[in-house]
Amino acid sequence: METIIPKTSVVLSSLLKADFTTQWRNRRAVILTLVVPVIILMTWKGMIGAFGGPFVLSNSITIGLFASGLMGYANTVARDRDKGIFQRLRVAPVPSWAIMISRLMVQLAMIFLITTAVFIIGYNYDGITLTPSAYIITYFTAILGGSVSLSLGQMIVGYIKNPETVNSTTRLVYLAFILVGMLGELYLKQLGEVWVNVVKLSPYGAVKTILSAGMEPAKWNADTTAALLVTIGYTIVFTFLGIKWFKWNTK
């Protein structure tokens, strides 16, 4: 009897269907991911005059990306690994990369969903509009920003095996990023230039900077380019460590 190796396209399509169905059934968690960005859009309406629409939109998207990459992706991977779901897939003729690609495709869809939701609410509630090219560039910078949060999530789930510890760690990191990146930019300027740079070059700050600049391409400057390079650097380092440390099982 001939051994049939399934086509990668068939395997990937089955994995994608299962992963997207799983995400759909977890839509309550998806809605929670959008809660904080929406709150920012609504409560910061009064700041648009002083800081501009891109400032509000970029902070909202950044928060959404980190919520999705850290708390969504990392916790799902930690839970599924703990339950042996990955191991069961790995004893089938499925390349390991296909398992992760399928998961990442779901996250890519989440990045588009978050960005689109922020654009729609930003337009309808806050009256923020961007040029068509700015909308398109922002989708690309959102993918870059999303890759930082996903790779950071991968690094955490690689380093920590226990799903409860992954859950609490990602929440702490998320909170720290909000404090350092968002509030830091608003309130720490009086502490000096060094702190401002720390905040700007933190993962949150760098992602927020490229998102904001993508919404106003004319304002792209050396600081933005530095933030872009830092974003790529974070992604490379976090991904390298995340893959190096990652184990498919918790034993």
Q: What is the number of alpha carbons within 13 Å of residue 81 lying toward its C-beta?
A: 24
Choose between 94 and 152: whose C-beta lies nearer to another protein.
Answer: 94
Instruction: Output 61 or 94, the one with its CB closest to another protein.
Output: 94
Cβ atoms of 52 and 133 within 8 Å: the answer is no
**22 vs 226 by CB, closer to another protein:** 22
Closest distance of CB 212 from another protein, Å: 36
Q: Where along the sequence are the contacts to another protein (CB under 8 A)?
A: 1, 3-7, 10-11, 13-15, 17-18, 21-22, 25-26, 80, 83-85, 87-95, 248-249
Q: With respect to another protein, which residue has the nearer C-beta, 52 or 84?
A: 84
Query: Could you identify the residue written with the tokens 């990955």?
Result: 86
Q: How far is the CB of 29 from another protein (least distance, A)?
A: 11
Question: Least distance (Å) from another protein to the CB of residue 82?
Answer: 9
Phi-psi domain of 92 (left: phi exceeds 0; alpha: psi -120 through 50; beta: other): beta
Q: What angle do CA 163, 87, 96 make, to 5 degrees?
A: 105
**What's the length of the chain?**
251
Cβ-based nearer residue to another protein, 87 or 139: 87
Find the shortest distance in angstroms from Cβ 87 to another protein. 6
127-134's contacts with Cβ under 8 Å and 24+ in sequence apart are 128/48, 128/53, 128/54, 128/56, 128/57, 129/53, 130/53, 130/54, 130/57, 130/215, 133/217, 134/214, 134/215, 134/216, 134/217
CB 248 to another protein: min, Å: 8
